[in-house]
Structure 1
């Protein structure tokens, strides 16, 4: 059964092969060493901190297909970033751009957005349904799986997210994801 799980897996280095073997055949002690933070489910309650330092509990979606954690602009406002959201109107950010224009638009807005308001730290072009959406990024402090961290989060200006916050891969390092845990 274990070998069927990795049939067809392309191993590109000795270290990668060793890690796969440890995961497949390692003892529970070895598994614990490889997993420093614990197990997360598809849905997790995280603590998010406002700009004023107040803690807010939030039910989130864990999505390994998403590179970075993303929040809605409505949540950003609740967390104290309303002034930064309002300032974005000056930039006239397009709702979507083509793949050919994505990098150029991203670079243009990167300089403009960081000069616009101190809360904005970067901008990213996110691929969605064959087009790219430009999303500004800010720093947010959150606690997930008992681990507190400050991280760059993208803000979905159109608020078209299934949850107010979706945790992406960059904030999932060190965790195992159990898709059956925490199902509604």
Structure 2
């Protein structure tokens, strides 16, 4: 019989890996007060006045995805850190799915859960670092051009924290439970409820 904690850990691992990866690609980490501009880790959006109804255009910094096109060194570092954490969470989610598929009791299942949990712990720590480094880029000349001259590190000026940044924080906070749950994936329902 499959352990309920193994099922919970697997489902949670897949959900946080998906949400953090989705968040990473969204351009709504920081939003201008009048909603004309929004900035993310790898892309941004702006209102294009060439169209009659002001069309919202979203694109990667510099026109294509390249780390050197991201306008701030802090944002580049945050992109590497948060992106690495997302990759590690996705890898551990695949390992969790594989572990759930094995279903039989063995020492290799226990080791697989532990390894995936350690990978998740490293992924969570790198994502936390990325989330903390990202606001340091608010002092860049690119950001100050759009959000005001008084924008600085941890001060967004005329801009607000967007829903993507908040989703990244929430996904990272929830993913902190995954390494803990991975330690108990071999517990049976009778052991839990007795």
- TM-score above 0.5, yes or no: no
Alignment TM-score, normalising by the size of structure 1 = 0.24
Larger Rg computed on CA atoms:
2
Bigger share in helix: 2
